[in-house]
Amino acid sequence: MLKNATPVYVVNTKSQHKRGRDTQLANIAAAKAVADVVRTTLGPRAMLKLILDAIGGVVITSDGNAILREIDVGHPAAKAMLELSRTQDEEVGDGTTSVIVLAGALLQAAEPCLEAGVHPSVIVGAYMRALQDALSELEQRCAIAVDWNDEVQLQRVLRACLGTKVAAVYRERVAAWSLAAVKLIAESSAPATTAGAGTQRPLDIKNLVRVEKIPGGDLDDSAVIRGVVLNKDIVHPQMRRRIENPRLLLLDCPLEYRKGESQLTVEVTREADWEALLQSEEAVVRQQCERIAALRPDLVITEKGISDLAAYLLMRAGISALRRVRKTDNERLVRATGARIVSRIEEASQQDIGTGAGLFEVRRLGEEYYSFIEQCTAPGACTVLLRGGSKDTLNELERNLHDALCVLRSLYGDRRVVAGGGATEMALSRALLQRSALVEGAAQWPYRQAAEALEVIPRTLAENCGTSVVRLLTRLRAEHAEAGHSNIGVDGTSGELIDMIEAGIVDAYAVKAQALKTAVESACMLLRIDDILSAVRKREGSGTATGAADATEDANPTD
C-alpha cells in the first residue's frame, strides 16, 4: 500500500454496511424471529393473533399470510421472509404458515455449519440437492392419486385444510360451498389436458368466483349462487325488479350525451339556440335508447353512467337498467349469461344479447339492495354469498373459503394428495438421512441438517397441542423406521400418532411441493447474501436528509 495515500470513498460513509458471516447470522436471526411469530398458528390447536393494522382496524386471525401481511418489519431479510407467505398464497392458496416455519428451520439448521467455517456455497449446494431428492421421494413414494369425481375424497382434503382454521366449526359448510363453486367453474371450463398424466388447465378462481360478504342474517342463509350478485339497485324506481328468463345487454359505454374529450366552450346569444342545443342532446340520448329497445332486452347493465332521461326512456320501454358496474363483474356476467360486452351501441346486435340467466331480482339484504342474476343454465362464473353476525367473522370465513378454493384449484390441476399431520415431512426426513451416506465431502453435514430441519412441522404440531414433544417425536421416528408406516403422523387435536390416510387427513400434492420449493429456495437466497448496504440519498427539494449522501459525495469525491 502506498504511503500517505488519499483514501477513496466508494460508499457513503454514513451508510450502514455489514458484510461476511455477521450478515448471514443476522439474516438467520431475522428469519427465525419471523418464523416464531407464526409458529403457534400451525395446526388444529392454533392460537389466534390480534393485529392492529395501520388504519386502526383490528384483525383477529390464525392465517399466516394475513398475519404477515399486516405486520411491519425493518430488516431486509425479514421482508424477504414475508414475501414467502405471499408467494405461497398466490400459487396454491394454502401452506402459508408451513412455508415460513420450514424456511426458518432450514436457516437455523445452517447456523452451526456457518460457525464451523463451512462456505455458504457448499451449504446452498447441499440444500438444493436435498430439495431435488425430497421432491423425487415426494412424487414416487408419498403421492396418492385421487378421483376428481369422488366428492368423498375431495371433502377429506378440504376438511384437512379447514381443520387448522378458525372456521373449523363450520368446515363442513365451507367445504360444501367451495366444492360447489369449483365444480360449477370446472364444468364450464374447456377440458384442455396439458402435458403430463392427470393434469388439467388451472381454473381462474380469482376472477370467476366472487365472495360477497353481507353482515347480518345467519350462516344458514349463505349459499352458492349460480350466477352473479351485484351491490346495485335499478336506476329508476318504476323499473321491473323481478324478471324471469331475462335478456341481458352488457355495455361499457355511457347512456348519456357524449361530451367533448377536451375543454369546450359554447357561446349562446339567443334563447332559441339554447333550446336547439338541448334538443340535440336529447335527440342523441333518444336515439341510443331506441336502438337498445329495438334489440328487445329486459335488462341493460353498463360500466358507465346512465342519464335521467335515458333511465326514463328505458323505463317507458319496459327495460330495467343498472349502471356503474365494475369491469370484473361485467366480465363475470359474460361467462355466466353468454352475453357479449358492447362498446358502441351502434354496433349492438342480437348476437350480443345474453339469455343464459333464469332470474333477475333486486333484493334488500340488511340496509342495501343487491341485484341477483341467477339460475344460469351453464354458469361460467358464480358467487358465494356469505351471511354472518359480524364483519370479523365474515372476513375470517372469507380467508378460509379462499384457502379451500385454492386447494381445490391446485387439486384440479394436479390430482394427487399426500399424508398430512407431519407424516410426509417425517418420511422425507428419514429418506434424506438415508441418502446422506451417498453425499461426499463437506456437503454431507448441511445435507443432513436439511433433512433434520423437515422435522420442524411434526414438532410444531406437537408443541401446539400441548403434548410431550421429545417422547412423541421419538415414537414417531420409531414408527417411520418400520416398513409400511410412512403415513403415521401427529394428530394435531389429540396429540396421538395415527395413520393420516386412514383418518382422512391429507394435503394436496401441489401445496406440499410448492412449500418445499419456496422454503428451500428462499433459505438458499438468504444464505448467499454476504453484504448489506443501506444508504438513503437526499431527496430533491427536501429540507431533511436521512442519509446525506449528496453532501458526503461533494465532500469526498471519488476517483
Query: Which residues are part of the catalytic machinery?
Result: 63, 96-97, 403
Q: Other C-beta atoms within 10 Å of 82: how many?
A: 18
Measure the CA–CA gap between 540 and 526, rounded to whole angstroms. 33
Q: Which three cell numbers stand for residue 414?
A: 394436479
Select from 183, 122, 119 the least CA-distant residue to 154. Answer: 183
Q: Which three cell numbers stand for residue 466?
A: 400441548
β-strand partners of 384: 211, 224
Give φ, ψ of 311 to 5 degrees. Answer: -60, -40
Select from 375, 361, 370, 379 the least CA-distant residue to 320. Answer: 361
Question: Is 387 in a helix, a strand, or coil?
Answer: strand
- Could you give the count of Cα atoms lying within 13 Å of 529 in the half-sphere of its Cβ? 20
The sign of the CA dihedral 84, 90, 92, 96 is positive
Measure the CA–CA gap between 162 and 170, rounded to whole angstroms. 9
Going by DSSP bridges, is the β-strand pair 368-374/228-230 parallel, antiparallel, or unpaired? Answer: antiparallel
Burial class from Cβ neighbours inside 10 Å (0-12, 13-18, 19+) for residue 392 reads middle
The sign of the CA dihedral 180, 182, 183, 185 is positive
What's the DSSP call for residue 260?
P
Give φ, ψ of 521 to 5 degrees. Answer: -65, -40
- Rounded to a whole number of angstroms, the CA Rg of the chain reads 30
Q: Other C-beta atoms within 10 Å of 419: how many?
A: 26
With the CA atoms of 158, 163, 165 and 170 taken in that order, what torsion angle do they form, in degrees rounded to the nearest 10?
A: 80
β-strand partners of 255: 306
CB contact at 8 A, 124 and 105? no
